[in-house]
């Protein structure tokens, strides 16, 4: 199996994982019903947790979008090339973050 095929498999695995996270965070981000008799402090905690889950949901949705873009561009000549310095992104970084479009130095 060649390097690009390994990356494709990794991206597809990450897409499945991220889709599950989106589903989970969508469930956790549902509004807290006002008739829910959980106490004032507990209700405030639930609302605060919902806010955190909404932010996490948006982050996972963006990651999913970036993964889908990466998958669609895997055969492009510039796939795996840093968008800023034009150097090769190390394979380890791509396997860890398949949606990465920059090397570590340019990502800082």
In the chain, what are the domain boundaries?
A: 3-76
Check: CB of residue 56 under 8 Å from CB of residue 25. yes
Q: Which residues of 33-56 are buried (b: 16+ CB within 10 A; e: fewer)?
A: eeeeeeeeeeeeeeeeeeeebeeb
Q: DSSP for 40-56? A: HHHHHHHHHHHHHHHHH
Looking at residue 68, what is its pLDDT? 97
In sequence order, what are the residues at sequence separation of 6 or more whose Cβ sits closer than 8 angstroms to the Cβ of residue 63? 18, 99
State pTM to two decimals.
0.85
pLDDT tens per residue, range 19-63: 999 999 999 999 877 765 667 778 788 889 999 999 999 999 999
For residue 35, how far is the Cα from the chain centroid? 34
Nearest CA to 14 out of 56, 68, 62 is that of: 68
């Amino acid at each position: 199996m060649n390097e690009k095929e390994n990356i494709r498999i990794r991206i597809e695995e990450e897409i499945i994982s991220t889709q599950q996270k989106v589903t989970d965070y969508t469930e956790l981000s549902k509004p807290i019903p006002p008739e829910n008799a959980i106490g004032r402090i507990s209700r405030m905690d639930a609302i605060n947790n919902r806010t955190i889950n909404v932010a996490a949901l948006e982050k996972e949705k963006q990651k999913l979008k970036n993964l889908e873009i990466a998958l669609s561009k895997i055969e492009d000549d510039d796939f795996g090339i840093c968008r800023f310095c034009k150097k090769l992104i190390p394979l380890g970084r791509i396997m860890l973050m398949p949606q990465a479009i920059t090397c570590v130095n340019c990502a800082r």
